[in-house]
Amino acid sequence: MFIAQNNLQFILEVAVIIHVGIILLFNVVAVPLSLVMFLGTVITVILALIFSFDAAFLLLPFLSHHEFTHPFGPFAVLFWVTMVASSNLLTEAGIRSTSVKKLSLLLFFIIAIAGGLMHRSFLVLWLLGWAFGYLLMSKSFRRSTRITKKSVLSFVLAGAGAFALMEFLSKVLHKSVLSPMLRITRLEENTIPSLSLVLKNTTFWGHVQGSCYWKSACLGGADGYITLPVTMIQNLGLPYHIFYGVLVVKKDYIDYMLPGIFAVAFDAGFFGLLFLLAWVMIVTFSGLRVLKKYQEQRLNGSRMYLGREALLIGSLAAFLSQSLVGLFIFNRSFNSSALLTYIIISALVMAHTVTVKRTIQ
């Protein structure tokens, strides 16, 4: 009875297992600021190298790239923001961290360029992660956060400049895969038919039977448009509807062309979409509430939760940015392997809200 019967049940079971596991681990392992800062720095450097090599493979002939930005992009946001938050906490404690701040600035541009070359959606994710990290750190460290017309304009111009640079490189290098305009053209050609399919056939619990790719074998929900990694499902020998090999293009009709709110509604119904939106709100407000408690402890002179505070800031920034990009811009940003990443980051936020009491008998 505990074996999942379809993709959505499998997602829920894996999510529960990961959340319980990380909560228990979080209550057993100490999280000092030094460890958090060390791991944040090392993992950010590793991810920067991975993205750089992957971007190089995209540009060089006879080499295949792997698109690591989808599964690892939110982790890059998490650990980069955690590293920056850790350095700020050190400064608050009167310890200089100039070298870490310089390294974080260098890594910011390396990851932005390498990840942006691979996927334009990652560039949006990265800039949103930076913005959320900045806002959370300003709130946590009681710094004035002035969102002026100039700062908003600068943010928009930075994004527009990056996209213009991508288009320029696609023309100079004759690499159409780099072109943001190609992506926009594909959306213009395919979004309306995909959107029409979703809006006409979505029901409260899924979609009209026979309306998906599987036709007569269509389940009316959990038909493989929202899944965990396909290799994970295949290795476990689970008999679910999955799109792999040449069938991936059939999944792209929804996964690649629409924001997540439509893909989730089609495969999980309006109930599934409402459940996901409610969970995003629960995780967000729970994380902000705990972050405020960490701030109060620090201002009262306690250094017990400094490492947890830095990790929570990074986790919240990653969770919020991936939620926005996945739900409202590009479904693939939290589908398949990226969905597993999303579940882990959600668990890293919720782990701060649960304390397991230890008793000695």
pTM over 0.85: yes
Q: Is residue 2 part of a domain?
A: no
pLDDT in tens, 8-24: 999 999 999 999 999 99
Q: What sections of the chain are H helices per DSSP?
A: 7-28, 33-59, 69-92, 98-118, 120-140, 149-172, 180-201, 230-235, 248-255, 260-299, 306-328, 337-350
Distance from C-alpha of 144 to C-alpha of 184, rounded to nearest angstrom: 38
pLDDT in tens, 232-276: 998 988 889 888 876 777 787 788 788 999 999 999 999 999 999
For 150-175, give the DSSP string: HHHHHHHHHHHHHHHHHHHHHHHTT-
| Alpha-carbon dihedral sign for residues 344, 8, 129, 118 | positive
What is the number of other CB atoms lying within 10 angstroms of the CB of residue 141? Answer: 16
Q: Is residue 295 part of a domain?
A: yes
Q: Is residue 181 part of a domain?
A: yes
What is the number of other CB atoms lying within 10 angstroms of the CB of residue 189? Answer: 10
Mean pLDDT of all residues in 303-316: 93
What is the number of other CB atoms lying within 10 angstroms of the CB of residue 197? Answer: 19
pLDDT in tens, 191-213: 888 888 899 999 999 999 988 88
The amino acid at 333: S
Ramachandran region, residue 142 (left: φ > 0; alpha: ψ -120 to 50; beta: rest): left
pLDDT for 10 equals: 95
Q: Is residue 359 part of a domain?
A: no
| pLDDT, greater one: 235 or 149 | 235
Q: 307 and 31 in contact (C-beta within 8 Å)?
A: yes
Question: What are the φ/ψ torsions at residue 107 (nearest 5 degrees)?
Answer: -65, -35
Mean pLDDT of all residues in 32-43: 94
Q: Per the structure block, which two tokens stand in for 240?
A: 């679910």
Q: Is residue 1 part of a domain?
A: no
Using alpha carbons, select from 165, 173, 184 the residue that is nearest to residue 112: 165
Q: 207 and 194 in contact (C-beta within 8 Å)?
A: no
Which residues form the domain of 235?
A: 7-353
pLDDT in tens, 110-146: 999 888 888 778 988 999 999 999 999 988 877 655 5
Total tally of structural domains belonging to the chain: 1
pLDDT for 86 equals: 93
> Picking from 63-77, 199-213, 334-348, which range would have the lowest pLDDT averaged per residue?
63-77
Confidence band of 84 (pLDDT split at 50, 70, 90): very high
pLDDT for 188 equals: 67
pLDDT surpasses 70 at 1:
no
Q: How far is CA 323 from CA 76, 181, 346, in A?
A: 15, 24, 10
- Torsion angle of the four alpha carbons 269, 270, 275, 279, in this order, in degrees rounded to the nearest 10: 110
pLDDT surpasses 50 at 360:
no
